[in-house]
Amino acid sequence: REVGGVARARTGPLRGGPDFLRLDHTFHLELEAARLLRALVLAWDPGVRRHRPCAQGTVLLPTVFRGCQAQQLAVRLEPQGLLYAKLTLSEQQEAPGTTEPRVFGLPLPLLVERENPPGQVPLIIQKCVGQIERRGLRVVGLYRLCGSAAVKKELRDAFERDSAAVCLSEDLYPDINVITGILKDYLRELPTPLITQPLYQVVLEAMAQGPPSRAPSSTEGTRGLLNCLPDVERATLTLLLDHLRLVSSFHAHNRMTPQNLAV
* 152-158 mean pLDDT: 94
The pLDDT value recorded for residue 45 is 80
- Strands 82-88 and 70-76 turn out to be antiparallel
Q: Same domain for 120 and 7?
A: no
Q: Same domain for 15 and 78?
A: yes
Has residue 208 been placed in a domain? Answer: no
- CATH number of the domain encompassing residue 121: 1.10.555.10
Has residue 100 been placed in a domain? Answer: no
Tell me the pLDDT band of 16, cut-offs 50, 70 and 90: low
* 46-62 mean pLDDT: 82
The pLDDT value recorded for residue 222 is 62
Q: Is the pLDDT of residue 206 over 80?
A: no
The pLDDT value recorded for residue 128 is 98
φ/ψ of residue 199, rounded to 5 = -70, -35
Percentage of the chain with pLDDT > 90?
A: 43
Angstrom distance (rounded) from CA 225 to CA 238? 11
pLDDT digits (tens, 9 = 90+) for 39-49: 888 887 888 87
Has residue 74 been placed in a domain? Answer: yes
Q: Same domain for 157 and 242?
A: yes
Tell me the pLDDT band of 72, cut-offs 50, 70 and 90: confident
Has residue 199 been placed in a domain? Answer: no
* 170-189 mean pLDDT: 95
First to last CA, the chain: 19
φ/ψ of residue 136, rounded to 5 = -120, -5
Q: Which domain holds residue 64?
A: 2-88
The pLDDT value recorded for residue 35 is 78
Angstrom distance (rounded) from CA 80 to CA 82? 7
- 199, 79 contact by CB (below 8 A): no
- Strands 36-45 and 6-7 turn out to be unpaired
pTM score above 0.75: no
- Strands 50-60 and 2-3 turn out to be unpaired
Q: Same domain for 128 and 184?
A: yes
User: Which of the residue ranges 27-36, 130-139, 189-198, 237-246 would you say has the lowest mean pLDDT?
Assistant: 27-36
Q: Same domain for 238 and 189?
A: yes
Q: Is the pLDDT of residue 227 over 60?
A: yes
pLDDT digits (tens, 9 = 90+) for 90-143: 765 544 555 678 999 999 999 999 999 999 999 999 999 999 999 999 999 999
When divided into structural domains, the chain yields a total of 2
